[in-house]
Amino acid sequence: MDDEICKRFDFPKVELHLHLDGAIRHQTLIDLSIEKGIDLKGAKTIDEVRDVVVTREPSNLAKMLEPFDLFLPVLAGDKDAIERVAYELCEDEAENGVVYFEARYSPHLLCNTVKNTAANSKYGVYMKKGQLGPRGVVEAVRRGFLRGEKEFGVRARSILCCIHGFHDWNDEVLELATNLSSEGVVGIDIAGCSLGADEQYPPSVSELFQKAAKRGIHRTVHAGESSGAKEVVNAIEEMRAERIGHGYRLLRDENAYKKYAIEKRIHFEACLKSSVMTGSVPLIWSQHPVKRFAADNINFSLSTDDPTCFDNSLLSEYQLAYQEIGLTRKQLWNCSLNAARSCFAEEPLKSEIIAIVEGAEV
């Protein structure tokens, strides 16, 4: 990212919608694949890896998620690799002027003790460093974050994901979120995978999120990305979502948009490049939902979603919003303030982050 763009958006930033396993450096993918003898479709250079994992043309969510099936085996079941990715993510975020971020991931997809996980690949279950359960995944992420926080001055927290289609993991996700606040866990989410990306969550998921609400566990839900306005309303009303991951298609129902976005000021985690590459919205920047979000001054922020797969950064997302959609520096700073105010960080950290962003008003 060039100096001019760094200078244009030199205020402190907060990022809320970032998948840890979708934020692996391409070089790290190469290193780990060589170490473990895992074939990334023959890719051995940065450019070759990008050709394999980066979505370059608008597609659909399920198609965009397919590369995860290819590269997650390099990470799953390896506590050292997971710690490395978490640590490197802190450095990458700091380079983008981020002062606080929340990274989300499925502890089950990254472990090697349950069936149907990335560790159970065609290369066999990765067990060289022993068994790694879901809790161990969270602890490995925390170790990486603590090292990264100390070295790069950024603050990082974890959101644990339920995975649509793997609902037998959900209860343990809630228990981990309930018991691991000391390991930096601040909330739960439910996300899709290449096998299930329709956001049609069953009643059992709503019940789990209701239980989380009663326990005081923070909640964000992927909705209105591959589905419609109805799923966003369901996430808020039935699943008690405090934030919505994406949510662009709420605009298909003006009454619902007015109620939840304008009046109730539910926070929307928008991801620009992701939104067009997953086919969630058309590639017409002048008509992008974020333009409407900004015009109505709703409670939304910008995030990268999956830098591994979109070859983006938070600075590039801000530049996209500035150059293609027409958001001003003030509006982009306000995105960061919205994110700070809507983050799941514990006190007094949350108040500290808000004060840092407020103190840099543009």
- Which residues have a catalytic role annotated? 225
**Sign of dihedral through CA atoms 209, 210, 211, 214?**
positive
Count the neighbouring beta carbons within 10 Å of the beta carbon of residue 314. 25
- Specify the pairing of strand 120-121 against strand 124-125: antiparallel
For residues 225 and 246, is the Cβ–Cβ distance under 8 A? Answer: yes
Dihedral Cα 56, 60, 66, 71, nearest 10 deg: 40
3-state secondary structure of 271: coil
Residue with token string 């514990």 = 346
Which has the closest alpha carbon to 188: 146, 151, 143, 158?
Answer: 158
Report the distance separating Cα 212 and Cα 219, nearest Å.
8
* Max CA distance (Å), the chain: 55
Contacting residues for 300 by C-beta, under 8 A, at least 6 apart: 267, 268, 269, 270, 290, 293, 294, 335, 338
Phi, psi of 103 (to 5 degrees): -110, 135
Dihedral Cα 210, 213, 219, 221, nearest 10 deg: 20
Residue 74 backbone class (left: φ over 0; alpha: ψ -120 to 50; beta: rest): alpha
Rounded to the nearest 5 degrees, what angle is found at the Cα of 146, between the Cα atoms of 140 and 147? 95
